[in-house]
Chains A and B, each alone.
Chain A
Amino acid sequence: MSIKQKLLEAVGAERFSDAPEVLEAYSKDFSLAPQGTPDYVVKPKDAQEVQRVIKFANEHRLPVVPASSGVHFHGATIPRRGGIVLDLSGMSQILEVDELNRRVRIEAGVTWEQLTGALGKKGFRMMMPLLPHPRRSVVTDWLEREVPTNTVYDYGEPLQSMEVVWPTGEIFRTGSASVAGYPDSPSKGANPSGPGLDFYRLLQGAQGTMGVVTWANLKIEYIPKMDKVLFAPVSDLNYAIEFLYRVLRLRIIQECLLLSNINLVAIAAQDDLEKLRASLPPWALILVMSGMQRRPEEQLHYEEEALYKVAKSEFPQISLAGKLPGLSASGNKFLPLLRQPWPDKATYWKNRGKGACSSLFFITKPTLAPRFIERVKEVAARHNYSQADIGVYLQPIEHNRACHLEFNFFYDPNNNSEVERVKKLYRDAAPVLLEEGALFTRPYGELAKLVYGRAAGYTATLKRVKKLFDPNNIMNPGNLCF
């Protein structure tokens, strides 16, 4: 029996495909990562089926690449060495909505669109990164440590306990879901840590190399009763960042972000992108204050008092208003852009401008952002990439203790020279930023070689751990440093 026949037997024809057009769909994504075609695609329906595939893969030394989303941006699910793509998008049940403990348990294939809709009906929301694609897997985005737009919660990440199928084939529950018989137990799975080791940490940022997560518990929040969206036009970025250092510590702001005008245009423009761009300031600071469940207007009141006290006395150049001049989707009309996934399945906001976008992002201290921006501009200039066309997104994290800084390089995917230029620009910019102190905690694609090459100690230890969990190196081999 050939491998294919054995695999077919193991998973059943319903779950299996190796049709060329199916394989091709998994061989590329929205990133500039080189193509890589799998040999087979399997779409499991439950953990036992996942387990069967993994056991099979171990037996036959076949790579397994888990993919839970309908759309990918970083190349992490493109097989580098063929093998089996394990597509979990069909495992898309919302298993529990636990309103009392503000928790939801969802399978890996549940999308942002699906979840936001279901939660919204009950008055709940989940913290979100900026405008996730509606077909992205919620679990994957949190596993991959996407940075939320909400800066007020000290407990940050929504991820709690999970079910995982280890690369060796065992089905395992992490955190407090590890009790026997879960969910038939007093434990709700609200604690991510343990048992014994913090397995959840090893699965975060792993890009599918450490195991296959089949479901996860995540925190949900109430939709505030009242919101107030404020904008400030910014030309002095340093000044705006200092303002954020001051006000985000007061714990009065929910969502907060800084966008360069080209990004704001991509997000908010109705039709004429160029026209809007011409009327917008170089940067926009967007803040949301909210009144939660009780006496919301009183809450908003003290928040506004505190905010304006600081703004007026210490940062007179920041002029906060409910509208951003030039932007029709101002005020509370902007709110859905922060509380919903991107509405258009066909064209992601980053691709609105030119059709495609290459993103370079990392974690840093907000005060260093202007310096990084300068460096990127210098590199861009060397490649004749117009500075004005660079998209920048600064996402403060947790009271502005750090930030996610993202650079978006737009290009026409059908124009070869643009594609090549952006590739080279990216390749040149990354080491410059790394040298300057950029912390690439999510080293996608060719970033991995650069980053792990610089972190010998970390890499060596990581490999030792990986070997314990995946002795045959079947999980997404060739990815990260594996």
Chain B
Amino acid sequence: MAISREAYKVVKSIVGAEYISTDPVVCEGYRAGPGGYECGLGYERVMTKVPACVIMPRTTEEVQKIVKACNRYKVPYVPYSTGWYGARSHPHVADELLIDMKRMDDFEIDEKHLYAVVGTGVIYSQLQEEAMKRGMYIVVGGGGSQVSAIANMIGDGWSPLSYRVGLPHRRILGTELVLPDGEIVRMGSLALQDDPFWGDGLGPDLRGLLRGFTGLRGCLGIVTRMAIKLLPFQPERLTPSGISPDTTLQLPEKRVKWINFSMPSKDAMRRAMYEMARAEIGGGVTKVPIFWRAIARARSKEEFWELWSKENEGSISSFHLLRVLLIGFASEEQLEYEERVLTDIITELGGEARRTRPTDESWFKNADSAGMWLMCGGYVSVDYVIETIEHAIPHGENYARLKRKFTPPLMPDYGDPGWFQSFELGHQGYSEFLVYWDPDENTDGVDHFYLETSKENIRKRFYTSLLGPHQPLYLTGPAYGPNYHKWLLAVKNEFDPNFVCHPPLPLAHDQFVERADWMKPMKDWESPEIKP
């Protein structure tokens, strides 16, 4: 497996010998699986490959030159920031160049104007700390603070803290994008000047090409630089404490506080979220699925299963834990005010405050996300949708019903309908459904379930994050828009005429269905010939 000698010579001269390798050992180190997000599944086994060459550019100019060379020599390439996203962020075809962006880790911060400018190699926990040192904060996406800030801002980007702050799309400011054909487009204020402080387009906003709901996984270019909004926080320090694995942030309790409430019913929880949003209080809110609590308490995988096996449908359906974050942005008095209002609401709804530790290990720095794999070794979010709370609740319930048919091989969750929360102070709601399985058992059922969720969303008219490259495009395309796929493919064809940017996305899942014997029977939609 190799890229052409000509091409290799050219790209090597761009970065220098130290930052390029075709060594099979180096390349093997970049294999997607078998562990990882959405790994240990059919898609990862069938669709991903080890790169033929790995290159590590340092500047946008180098990236542009590399991309232009790939177009000239028809070398398929994939941008790779941390490799965290799993199968879909890795090479899918033979003789592919993997562009490892970790050296692009420039960082600037404009404290006065509440934004930071980052390269693709900067991760969230770095950015969060730099922000918090200066009285600001960011929302670290649920994927974890180990992810590239840029990659997450164009792919996902939400957490319970999005309750106050909303969509990540609005937090993208001036951005630099190397298009698949090697042209550079600078968006927002970067179109006219060097300061990326603002994101709106000159007229129509080309940030529309960056992500869609949940991103294009790098098949429509490489973002090399982005200014990201920072949010005003409060001045007290969240102090790191403890020794691994029990590290946590000590919260300045008069300014930042989590409170857990046990609620009498799911409806009470739903209403609490609406009432909080109506009152415009809170810095974060979420339902806590019972298995999160089990993960937090368990000191090992075995202990988790000991705790989890004590649960059943009854205990799950009667467990309603609401977790609320209060932030005294303006003052201690603000937090006191919000706590009084919150107490009013909870009391009205028959809930009760539980003793809650004055610490955070999950959401500010989101150091816990890797814990999602503790239970089974395999994990994927099989859907996660921003819509309204009214959409979120039936969406989760629907999934729980569908999921029963696929348990096993999915981990038993006793009918837990995932988690939901409020977004943008109640204007939106969120549901996420996570599934786990043992990757060392037969996982065909998980592959089936994943595709079945897409069909179910279409049948029941739910919105879904799994569009674009995440599910078969010819399945979802006609169902949403309708025919959003037509536009996506038109844009793709326009900007990637040589089809070298992360092929075969956005048609990767279509191809997976054609290639995998156990998937073919699921195809019941029309598509033009997809070459397996």
Contacts and interface: CB of A to CB of B under 8 A. Distances in A.
A–B contact at 8 Å CB threshold (below): yes
Interface of A: 100-103, 145, 153-157, 160, 170, 172-173, 175-176, 178-182, 184-188, 190-207, 209-210, 219, 222, 245, 249-252, 292-295, 298-299, 301-303, 305-306, 309, 363, 365, 367, 398-399, 401-402, 434, 437, 439-443, 448, 451-452, 454-455, 457-462, 464-469, 480-481
B467 A196 contact: yes
Contact of A197 (B115, B203, B389, B487): B487
Contacts of A209: 203-204
Given A294-B279, A441-B200, A197 B212 contact: yes
A302 B212 contact: no
Contacts of B232: 249-251, 399
Contacts of A197: 208-209, 212, 484, 487-488, 491
Interface residues of B, number: 97
Given A154-B231, A210-B204, A452-B202, A293 B333 contact: no
Interface residue SS majority, chain B: mixed
Interface stretch (B13-21, B299-307, B371-379, B420-428): B420-428
B462 A179 contact: yes
Given A190-B387, A306-B333, A434 B200 contact: no
B427 A190 contact: yes
B487 A191 contact: no
B314 interface: no
B462 A186 contact: yes
A461 B340 contact: no
A440 B203 CA distance: 9
A481 B202 CA distance: 10
B228 to A, nearest CB: 12
Given A187-B461, A462-B201, 19 more contacts: A155-B170, A176-B385, A179-B463, A180-B482, A185-B461, A188-B390, A190-B386, A190-B391, A190-B429, A191-B387, A194-B213, A196-B477, A202-B208, A205-B204, A222-B278, A252-B330, A441-B202, A455-B202, A465-B206
A197 to B, nearest CB: 5
Nearest to A310: B330
Nearest to B483: A170
Interface in B193-228: 193, 195, 197-198, 200-214
Interface string B453-465: 0000010111100
25 contacts: A100-B390, A176-B385, A176-B463, A179-B463, A180-B480, A185-B462, A186-B391, A194-B468, A196-B212, A196-B213, A204-B204, A205-B204, A219-B427, A250-B329, A250-B331, A251-B329, A294-B278, A298-B340, A299-B337, A305-B331, A401-B114, A458-B201, A465-B209, A465-B494, A466-B204
Contact of A439 (B165, B166, B192): B192
B183 A457 contact: yes
B164 interface: yes
B389 A101 contact: yes
User: Most A CB atoms within 10 A — which of B135, B330, B345?
Assistant: B330
A238 B407 CA distance: 65
A161 B240 CA distance: 41
Contacts of A468: 487, 490-491, 494
Nearest to A145: B200
Nearest to B468: A196
B327 to A, nearest CB: 9
Contacts of A100: 274, 390
A205 B205 contact: yes
Contacts of B229: 398, 401
B451 to A, nearest CB: 17
B334 interface: yes
B279 A440 contact: no
User: Most B CB atoms within 10 A — which of A197, A398, A437?
Assistant: A197
Given A180-B479, A294-B341, A306-B330, A198 B462 contact: no
B394 interface: yes
A101 B388 contact: yes
B184 interface: yes
User: Most A CB atoms within 10 A — which of B135, B164, B424, B463?
Assistant: B463
Interface in B310-362: 329-331, 333-334, 336-337, 340-341, 344-345
A222 B428 CA distance: 15
Contacts of B280: 292-293
B508 to A, nearest CB: 14
A155 B331 CA distance: 22
B365 to A, nearest CB: 20
Nearest to A305: B333
Contacts of B386: 176, 190-191, 193
A291 to B, nearest CB: 10
Contact of B488 (A101, A191, A196): A196
